[in-house]
Structure 1
Amino acid sequence: MPEYVCAVDVGTGSARAGIVHKSGRLAGRVEHPIVMNKPATDHAEQDSEDIWKAVCIAVRGALKAAGIAASEVAGISFDATCSLVVRDRQGDPLTVSTTGDNRWDTVVWLDHRALEEADECSATGHKVLEYLGGAMSPEMQTPKLMWLKRHLPETWDKAGYFFDLADYLSWRASGSLERSQCTLTCKWTYLAHEERGWQPDYLQEIGLDDMVAKGNLPEKASPVGTDVGRLTPDAAAALGLTTDCHVGAGLIDAYAGALGVLGGFACDLSQIDRHLALIAGTSSCLMALSPDPILISGGWGPYYGVALPDIWLSEGGQSVTGALLDHIIRLHGSVGEPDGELHGKIAQRINELRSQEPDLANRLHVLPDFHGNRSPLADPHAVGVISGLNLDASFDSLCRLYWRTSVAIALGVRHVLDAFNEKGYAIDTMHVTGGHTKSPLLMELYADATGCTVITSAAEDAVLLGTAMVAATAAGFYPDLPSACVAMKQGGRERLPNPDARKRLDRDYRIFLEMHAQRRRLDAIQ
């Protein structure tokens, strides 16, 4: 009898595949890079064919690493960034690029070309905005589609399919045009808690009254973990699996991470609002679950049934975190391209400097909004600020700036948590997964700056674990998604906040909030 599933996670720069036992144990994992095109400022594009090839390479590699036969894999599911894939009526790639090249058929989640359109969506005041923190983000799909319709009318005329990336992968695997309740609710203004999910008056007001029909979007979304069909012969051959493998309706990558670390609490919903998932990598997503809807200004959601069925999810976020630390290294300009070795060297030197100067660089302050403020201000026009620079251009000056940028990232998390708890959450425990778990500096700061107990998932890859829970549900290993989550949870390692650091970080937080206020005052000067 098969006892394994395949989980596929497509991030910003790579596709990862894991073969996971139905107990939640990761048996094999492989990663393969994907390409990105940046033809203009704020434009970021990908090639969905390249993504699919990377997925196939990763799945075949993970199967080999696990040392099991393809027949032992009973289910597969996909999580992915909330990127927008556009195909023509024949299902072939269709350009989203100002270059006109059909290869670039995917608008990457972080693309901010649709800032003007996002502002127009916000100005409608429509009720869909109540579930987006009151403002539309250019990272959502309706402003991006508005931009395409206006600026690439030939693409709009030829379009036959619009997909969130996770749904595109499910379609490539199974041929099914079902769309996940997670993707449509979180990024397409579909209201899953209402009898009629799409809001025609909103779509008409923003000029997308033909979006549902043109994009072959369904009237009803499919709950996460729904069995949307088996692998097609072509997909099975490309992935190295069999046509007996069931495909589960997937989810956005950060939501998979939230499921991987919070899904195990599905057995005690009375305490679930104490827990927050921090999925931290290139950017950071903060997600909390509650049995009842909690509206948060400047947050995304509450979304109904986008991770666990019948449970509401609220999301906050930081548009750049890991990417910001890379940027700070590049900005300094003297030490080369950021990689794991360089980040480690900087962290080691920071700790040496802190041993000599515990309150390191305490006059250097950073606002980390270099790519806008996703939460809790919901201001995509916000900019980053650095205060306290001098003429020092040494490696140590980079280390000081890196450290204070890390402090700012952690204070940004506290800013979001405060907004959540002010509205009714009771968050005191934060579950961290993603690339930041490899940074001792950030893990220390997340606990000390927020005052939360920080749990690092024992799962080798909590995002893959969450997607494996979805695949196990579709495969029929468990009767429903909550049962799969409870059975496959992996626990974690606990870190308590250091009370001695609190006074210093409280002072930094007061300055952080004052810098936000000062930036607003500067922006208001005519």
Structure 2
Amino acid sequence: MTPLLVAVDVGTTSARAGVLTRDGAVLARAEAPIEIRREGAERAEHKSENIWASVCRAVAEAIAKAGADTETIVGIAFDATCSLVVRAKDGAPLAVGSDGDPDWDTIVWLDHRALAEAEEARATGHRVLDFAGGALSPEMEIPKLMWLKRNLPKTWQRAGYMFDLADFLSWKACGSLERSQSTLTSKWSFLAHEAEGWPADFLTAMGLEDLRERASLPRHASPIGHPLGTLTAKAARELGLPKTVIVGTGMVDAHAGALGVLGAFANQPETIDRHLGLIAGTSSAVTALATEPRPAPGVWGPYFGAVLPGIWLSEGGQSASGAALDHIIRVHSSGAAPTPLMHAEIINRITQLRSQCDDLAPRLHVLPDFHGNRSPFANPKALGVISGMSLDASFDGLCKLYWRGAVAIALGVRQILETLNARGYAIDTLHVTGGHTRNPLLMELYADATGCTVHELPDADAMLLGTAMAAATGAGLYPSLADAATAMRHASVTREPDRSRRALYDRDYAVFLKMHAHRAEIEAML
């Protein structure tokens, strides 16, 4: 019988599962919601048991949709957001919120309660920052752990296990306390390229000298796809899978997406630095790989082995991309709820307007940093800017603003890739997957505004595909993760840039850079 794989992708509000073949074909997908509790703008929490229950429901539904014989399923792996799960010495959930409710035991990745701790870490100037884009984000685990120890000392004293969410799911599945090289290098300041990966002096300086004991952290990290063991009897029952299913080491969700779109070049390390992965939806993750470390300002990493063994990952992004266009629709007087139909109506009208005037709204310019700038400025406090607004409140006025917002999103990607190229990359090809593949304006702009060849993966689910590659490797279907990634690649549609429009976008890019500079000057005055 043909062996099958289960891949699980846990996001902010839902858990998704897919059943895939060994060549990467997706037979079925299913999704189950997960609970999230918000407290103001900065705090957000999950229940890890609720997440596990949603994972089990999604897996069961995906298997049913696929009509799969569970006896043919040989491997499973998990990717997830970089949320922090805290458990007691007996494995019970521990409270991470001010109300002391232990069910809420997980600090969500987007939680910014540890802003002060992140700034404190940045001020040390420690060498770990050279492998984190020059600063720790409050979304990473070290600042969150500092906050936890300082503000919830009883939780800290009772803690026996602390996990990145992907590692927690692997632990629930097979009981392994091994941790992924993806999660540890990118979120826990683990230096996988050094013999002693844990920077003891840095942890001590941050007041976390007892972290390894409290969190039950291993001395070494496990590479993606490393077999962690088979399912426990309890997990097998809950997932509806045989106990013989092997759990492969998982990863952070963005890294799974990077593996899904860039893993195809795993056996071409000498040219892998020409390719940029763009996983684009509400926000955008930008990923680049190289055979040596190439640190760049405002770009997370470089992280050793976070996606492929022996390869360094640099990770940038846009905090709001699709969300920025949604916001434009929502706040304009001629807008409405940003539904797919509303987007389509706007895009159709923009196409008509551009047929009459190729250079649409040339005096209107946007900085789309409505939720901060992740790359290349690493400024979570940055705000968006719209220059050139008139009193035009018509639907056409909305369309022009939407168009210029889309141009700005593409120019932001250009700025990130130019930042990377200045540090030794030779990026000339974009690999795009996610919701933006359904927006023809953005897909056109990613080619024309950056000057890159674009490979569009409209039918690929990059996160599930990358995670299935890890599952296939763990199950022994391929001799290495690189071989799995090469064999399971998805076909793409190629788009070449329209060189005739280069001068227009060069002009827009010059304005874009000026606006960033002026915004920085204004912020310095406040």
TM-score for the superposition, normalised by structure 1:
0.96
The answer (yes or no) to whether the contact 2:438–2:458 under 8 Å persists in 1 is: no
| TM-superposed deviation, 1:191 | 0.3
Structure 1 vs Structure 2: percent identity of aligned residues? 59
Task: Give the Cα separation in 1 of the matches to 2:334 and 2:182.
Answer: 43
Identify the range of structure 1 (274-283 vs 147-156) with the bigger mean alpha-carbon deviation.
147-156
Aligned to 1:290: 290
Task: Give the Cα separation in 2 of the matches to 1:236 and 1:444.
Answer: 46
Task: Give the Cα separation in 1 of the matches to 2:395 and 2:45.
Answer: 34
Aligned to 1:68: 68
Task: Give the Cα separation in 2 of the matches to 1:413 and 1:339.
Answer: 24
Amino acid at match of 2:47: D
Aligned to 2:36: 36
Amino acid at match of 1:228: L
Say if 1:157 and 1:364 are closer, same or farther in 2 by CA, change over 3 A. Answer: farther
Aligned to 1:201: 201
| TM-superposed deviation, 1:504 | 1.4
The answer (yes or no) to whether the contact 1:39–1:99 under 8 Å persists in 2 is: no
Task: Give the Cα separation in 1 of the matches to 2:110 and 2:398.
Answer: 26
Q: Secondary structure at the match of 1:309?
A: coil
Aligned to 1:337: 337
The answer (yes or no) to whether the contact 1:366–1:404 under 8 Å persists in 2 is: yes
Aligned to 1:85: 85
Amino acid at match of 1:39: E
The count of residues paired between Structure 1 and Structure 2 equals 526
Task: Give the Cα separation in 2 of the matches to 1:333 and 1:94.
Answer: 46
| TM-superposed deviation, 1:230 | 0.8
TM-score for the superposition, normalised by structure 2:
0.96
| TM-superposed deviation, 1:335 | 4.2
Report Cα offsets for 1:206-264 as digits up to 9, x if no partner: 11212221111111111111111111112111111110100001011111111112112
Identify the range of structure 1 (42-51 vs 231-240) with the bigger mean alpha-carbon deviation.
42-51
Identify the range of structure 1 (440-449 vs 453-462) with the bigger mean alpha-carbon deviation.
453-462
Say if 1:149 and 1:342 are closer, same or farther in 2 by CA, change over 3 A. Answer: farther
Amino acid at match of 2:96: V
| TM-superposed deviation, 1:2 | 5.0
| TM-superposed deviation, 1:157 | 2.8
5+ long unaligned stretches in structure 1? none
Aligned to 2:302: 302
**1:448-463 pair list within 5 angstroms:** 448-457=448-457, 459-463=459-463
Say if 1:367 and 1:99 are closer, same or farther in 2 by CA, change over 3 A. Answer: farther
The answer (yes or no) to whether the contact 2:367–2:386 under 8 Å persists in 1 is: yes
Say if 1:158 and 1:332 are closer, same or farther in 2 by CA, change over 3 A. Answer: farther
Aligned to 2:168: 168
Identify the range of structure 1 (349-358 vs 367-376) with the bigger mean alpha-carbon deviation.
349-358
Amino acid at match of 2:165: L
Amino acid at match of 1:264: A
The answer (yes or no) to whether the contact 1:78–1:166 under 8 Å persists in 2 is: yes
Amino acid at match of 1:285: A
Task: Give the Cα separation in 2 of the matches to 1:384 and 1:159.
Answer: 40
Task: Give the Cα separation in 2 of the matches to 1:398 and 1:106.
Answer: 40
Task: Give the Cα separation in 2 of the matches to 1:352 and 1:90.
Answer: 64
| TM-superposed deviation, 1:34 | 2.2
Q: Secondary structure at the match of 1:431?
A: strand
Aligned to 2:189: 189
Amino acid at match of 1:26: V
The answer (yes or no) to whether the contact 1:408–1:512 under 8 Å persists in 2 is: yes
Identify the range of structure 1 (58-67 vs 374-383) with the bigger mean alpha-carbon deviation.
374-383
- CA RMSD of superposed structures (Å): 1.7
| TM-superposed deviation, 1:91 | 1.9
5+ long unaligned stretches in structure 2? none
Amino acid at match of 1:13: T
Say if 1:97 and 1:19 are closer, same or farther in 2 by CA, change over 3 A. Answer: same
The answer (yes or no) to whether the contact 1:283–1:322 under 8 Å persists in 2 is: yes
Aligned to 1:95: 95
Whether 2:429 is the aligned partner of 1:432: answer no
Q: Secondary structure at the match of 1:38?
A: strand
Amino acid at match of 2:53: K
Say if 1:245 and 1:212 are closer, same or farther in 2 by CA, change over 3 A. Answer: same
Task: Give the Cα separation in 1 of the matches to 2:99 and 2:322.
Answer: 29
**1:361-440 pair list within 5 angstroms:** 361-440=361-440
Amino acid at match of 1:375: S
Report Cα offsets for 1:81-100 as digits up to 9, x if no partner: 11112222222222222343
Task: Give the Cα separation in 1 of the matches to 2:314 and 2:258.
Answer: 11
Whether 2:273 is the aligned partner of 1:259: answer no
Task: Give the Cα separation in 2 of the matches to 1:328 and 1:153.
Answer: 43
Report Cα offsets for 1:308-340 as digits up to 9, x if no partner: 111111111112222222233333376443332
